Structure 1
Amino acid sequence: MVEHMKWWGWGQEGVAFHHEDKPNLAPFVMKVAGIDFSAPPVRVPELSELDVPASRAPESLRAAFVEALGAEHVHDDDLDRVVHTYGKSMRDLVRIRRGDFGRLPDLVLYPGTEAETEAALRIALEADAVLIPFGGGSNIVGSLEAPREETRPVVSLDMGRMREVLSLDETAKTARIQAGALGPDLEEQLNARGWTIGHFPDSFKHSTLGGWIATRSSGMQSDRFGDIADITRAVRVVTPKGLVATAEVPVQSTGPSVREMVLGSEGRLGIITEATVQVHRLAEERVIQAYFFPDYGSGLKAMQAIAASDAQPSITRVSDANETQFTLATSKKGSAVGQLLNKGVQLYASRRKGMDLSQMCLSFIGFEGSAAGVRRSKTIVGEIVRKHGGFGVGSGPGTLYDQKKFDTPYIRDFILDRGAYGDVSETSSSWTTLKSVHDNVVAAAEKAFAEVGVKGFIFCHLSHSYHSGACQYFTFAFQAPSDHDGLEVYDTVKGAIQQAFIDNGGTLSHHHAVGREHKRWIGQDISPAGAEIVGALFAGVDPGRNLNPGAIVD
């Protein structure tokens, strides 16, 4: 059994965002973005009400896959094909609800072994079919869809049956794990033996190890454990040239890194079947502390100082003033976060610290490890926070953040139900340019809102810190105008944000990848020559363009 998300939205059936227990949220969102939470939701159609194009797969191709994988692992029903058509970007959700299915897969395959994966690829190549690897389906940059004009058979290869931790080397602190393992799958298996991979992206519950590698994912605790590129030590990949298996070693000097080529390749080079990853003992102690800074600039300087210090936090996150106000508005009545700006805290911040409450910025900093190590890091961080004008408010809000950290994507479905659009974009840049990137991206978004005549809202947080810089994660939302196609407005705003990344010294994506949404900026990001080299790599491995054609570069 392989479980999938809703065909029309994020996450599990029966799980949804609710605002009734958050009394400040509806008026806040109406004020800043014109989104009316009291509006009746738009009805999502039943799949049976939509015109799902029939499979175009020749019977001979279907028969070949059945012989290789078994009839129970070759599907062509409407629901399975629709689930595997798109990822979960805003564009994907709008199109799927409209019944705009683009180029549906003709068949969905569920290999159970590496040998079956090799057989599936061989059959697809012999038939000149398009094959697109599929993990959890959480991608938000268009990495899972076939080109609309594609006339060849299209096959989605779902890796969900391959989800086992195959071995654990406690001496080397590595584990071999099948690529189809969802975040909860592999953590449950590792935790049972006292270990963790330490990789927790927002999509953790609905994304796979193979998907993390294919998109160069980052997790919330990357400050301690590293990004997936740091965590992945070796890969096994089924390619048109044969099985690629890199060595399970910490480092090697053997020409351009094949492991690095696979990282971020989005299925263009082959199908990742398993990986050897770094793992860590479960921490003796884990805590997330909340702090306030007088403004976003102070918070950024503090994060830079923490990154340069002897402290070893697992999370360094600071929200700008807009996101801080949004976070506080989402708090439940009487909750820990809801008490952050009670009268006592306000008086302390404004009178004792001289802070402008409208500019205050909320920060979450996580610590884990030995009790002594956590104490030492907390002491160092506390001193840095105070030096930059901030103060701590304890671990209560951090506990709530930790419990709810995977729930945010459900909000997007909720506002889409009410005719509003919301999405995210992220970038990384140096400490030198971080604040100017933030300010110019916000200005570009606000200019775009004005140009298209919508009331919109954008906010941001720093989410991952590095030696030379950090990631900034932007969220934006607006009420779609009645006289325009919401996707056209969305394209204008999203395009302005992405271009501002490039124009101000950032990258087009820190961890969401390129897909089809971002590829128009790839030449500006890695240079035209760099894009040509990437295209040549793909063409050399897959000259027939059978593997996920159109992703990253044309």
Structure 2
Amino acid sequence: MTDVKHMKWWGWGVEGVAFNPDNKPAFAPFVKKAVGLDLSVPAVPAVAFGDLTLPSSTIDAAFLATLAGIVGEANTITDDEARLVHTYGKSIRDLLRIRASDLPRMPDVVVYPADEAQVAAVVTAAVAANAVIIPFGGGSNISGSLEPHPGEARVVISLDLGLLNKVTLIDEGSGLASIQAGAQGPFIEEQLNARGWTMGHFPDSFTHSTLGGWVATRSSGMQSDKYGDIADIARGIRMVRPAGIVDIRPVPSASTGPSVREMILGSEGRLGVITEVTVQVHRTPEVREINGYLFPSWEAGIAAMHDIAESDAKPTVTRVSDARESGFSFATGKAKEGFDPQKVLMAYLKRRGWDLEGINLSFIGFEGSPSHVAYEKKIVKRIVKKHGGLAVGKGPGVLYDQKKFDTPYLRDFLLDRGAAADVSETAAPWSRLNEIHDAVYAAANDAYEQIGTPGWIMSHLSHSYHSGACLYFTFAFVHGGEIAIEQYDVVKRAIQQAFVDHGGTISHHHGVGREHAPWLEQDISTEGVALMAGLFASADPKKNFNPDKVITY
């Protein structure tokens, strides 16, 4: 058995780590008010593995022996739990289906190649056998990019890149690092930090996602305002194809026709198996600081983020939560004995005439030399004040840093108690952000009325650009058990349609997969889809590589 570590099959993260509502006195009342869920009712734990009904592997002994001859018997796994871990990602749809034992098709075998040569040999053998290859990184995907097609009759191979996890080269003169595609976020930063470098890419899934997965889904990180999205960070790419290796050299820019690098970015395994990526890296900063700010309204916060994007300040993080998400953040705070600075602050704001239910919490990050950070903070402070905001220091930023990767655990906590929670994100021009925000709220609330249950939606802005920003929505409702996925679909469809109807994209950084594919034509046009279909059909005529993701042809 391979020693590659995976998330638990029934939820996010690792066994023994979970959201803990203890010492958060405002959380239970908040949830009761938001969706009508009584947290005093005992939780129903996830289904036991032994109670699941799992389809058997269909791989024959001869082909299994062929794969074992390439990667070794210990790295050729047909164990049911390993196959289950590699069947779905971690969306609420995925987790609901697992708990309902809705598993019509699982990978027949999981293989763990140790290097690029073994990846190439597996690809050659799989294509010769007309098998399906689904590349697998950390399994954190929430857009349906990993699951086999339910009716797939061919052998399905989950090609897990977990053994390809090393930083192989740092070009210190150029600020470039070559990293194997199966390396997860923490291990990448550990290896880079040891030599004084950082990649600066920290998506929400950072602790359990991989470089190859980031490239395959066009990921964005929390610090993309400074470091860029993965499309900006990834310069060189190596990808295994049936006839050889695509090798995109890490030049800073090129005029070499339609960009093959861009074709690979966001391709979700449809074109081949990414094995190595050369990325831009930066010296670890002398100072890293995230400060908290408060705004009296959502519109004021958005206007401030826009002004910051146009200013000489270039923060690492520009994030503002609307009043609902801010209320959620306050509700997850721990109880404090004695002096409570939050209570003092709220009393002060109330005296100044602020609507305490309408506060918008913001986090802005700064990195660099002490003088550079001081310069940028001065610019930001002036802009925040212009829009009626208030700086509240480093304390909230420290808490943000501590909790930024923990939110997915809350989804499992709620699911154990009969509530479904998930996310959708978009990006749009600055001029459309408020319109989209209001339209999504209206669409979600109409959907909750349609399914007959109270629901919650909240949002924040993040990932600011010259022309616009990302809006990230979280939604939740108490589901109806066996009809949970039907209810989810009503809400999800309403939110996604509101995105495209009001000038946004269908996904800013979670990819397309199967989840968002129905809206792709509205996003990139009929001819855009035709171009993409032509690329996939030409590159993979027998549909061996992760078929039916992004588009179906």
> Is the pair's TM-score, using the shorter chain for normalization, greater than 0.5?
yes
Q: Per-residue deviation at 1:165? A: 0.2
CA pair 456-340 structure 1, distance change in 2 beyond 3 A: farther
Aligned length: 550
Q: Per-residue deviation at 1:350? A: 3.1
What are the Cα deviations for residues 92-131 of structure 1, in whole angstroms up to 9, with x where unaligned? Answer: 0011112111210000000011010000001110000011
Aligned twin of 2:327:
325
Distance in 2 (CA, whole Å) between partners of 1:553 and 1:335 is 55
Contact 2:133 2:546 in 1 (8 A): yes
Q: Which amino acid aligns with 1:69?
A: V
Distance in 1 (CA, whole Å) between partners of 2:51 and 2:500 is 42
Answer yes or no: is 1:298 the counterpart of 2:300.
yes
Aligned twin of 1:485:
483
CA pair 252-340 structure 1, distance change in 2 beyond 3 A: farther
Residue of 487, 510, 533 corresponding to 2:531: 533
What are the Cα deviations for residues 484-504 of structure 1, in whole angstroms up to 9, with x where unaligned? Answer: 611111000011000000000
Residue of 315, 331, 351 corresponding to 2:317: 315
What are the Cα deviations for residues 495-550 of structure 1, in whole angstroms up to 9, with x where unaligned? Answer: 10000000000000000000000000000000011011111101111000010001
Q: Per-residue deviation at 1:481? A: 3.1
Q: Which amino acid aligns with 1:531?
A: V
Q: Per-residue deviation at 1:340? A: 5.7
Q: Which amino acid aligns with 1:367?
A: F
Aligned twin of 2:64:
62
What are the Cα deviations for residues 452-482 of structure 1, in whole angstroms up to 9, with x where unaligned? Answer: 1110010000011000000010000001136
Q: Per-residue deviation at 1:59? A: 1.2
Superposed structure 1 runs of 4+ greater than 6 Å apart: none
SS of residue paired to 2:289: strand
Distance in 2 (CA, whole Å) between partners of 1:529 and 1:11 is 40
The equivalences for 1:1-16 within 5 A come to 1-16=3-18
CA pair 339-550 structure 1, distance change in 2 beyond 3 A: farther
The equivalences for 1:79-478 within 5 A come to 79-334=81-336, 339=340, 341-342=342-343, 344-352=344-352, 354-478=353-477
SS of residue paired to 2:22: coil
Q: Which amino acid aligns with 1:351?
A: R
Q: Which amino acid aligns with 1:103?
A: R
* Structure 2 gap ranges (5+): none
Alignment TM-score, normalising by the size of structure 1: 0.98
Residue of 492, 513, 516 corresponding to 2:514: 516
CA pair 496-512 structure 1, distance change in 2 beyond 3 A: same
Contact 1:22 1:333 in 2 (8 A): yes
Distance in 2 (CA, whole Å) between partners of 1:154 and 1:226 is 35
SS of residue paired to 2:146: coil
* Structure 1 gap ranges (5+): none
CA pair 335-476 structure 1, distance change in 2 beyond 3 A: farther
Distance in 2 (CA, whole Å) between partners of 1:347 and 1:415 is 32
Contact 1:241 1:541 in 2 (8 A): no
Distance in 2 (CA, whole Å) between partners of 1:446 and 1:52 is 37
Distance in 2 (CA, whole Å) between partners of 1:248 and 1:509 is 27
Aligned twin of 1:502:
500
Q: Per-residue deviation at 1:43? A: 2.6
SS of residue paired to 2:547: coil
CA pair 260-366 structure 1, distance change in 2 beyond 3 A: same
After TM superposition, the structure 1 stretch with the greater mean CA deviation from structure 2, 99-108 or 177-186, is 99-108
SS of residue paired to 1:326: helix
Q: Per-residue deviation at 1:417? A: 0.3
Distance in 2 (CA, whole Å) between partners of 1:369 and 1:102 is 51
SS of residue paired to 2:364: strand
Q: Which amino acid aligns with 2:427?
A: S
Distance in 1 (CA, whole Å) between partners of 2:14 and 2:341 is 31
Contact 1:159 1:179 in 2 (8 A): yes
Distance in 1 (CA, whole Å) between partners of 2:373 and 2:521 is 43
Distance in 1 (CA, whole Å) between partners of 2:282 and 2:126 is 39
Q: Which amino acid aligns with 1:217?
A: S
Alignment TM-score, normalising by the size of structure 2: 0.98
Distance in 1 (CA, whole Å) between partners of 2:177 and 2:280 is 7
Q: Per-residue deviation at 1:394? A: 0.6
SS of residue paired to 2:303: helix
Aligned twin of 1:543:
541
SS of residue paired to 1:537: helix
Give identity over the alignment, percent: 57
Q: Which amino acid aligns with 1:450?
A: E
SS of residue paired to 1:393: strand
Q: Per-residue deviation at 1:72? A: 1.1
Contact 2:55 2:104 in 1 (8 A): no
SS of residue paired to 1:432: helix
SS of residue paired to 1:132: strand
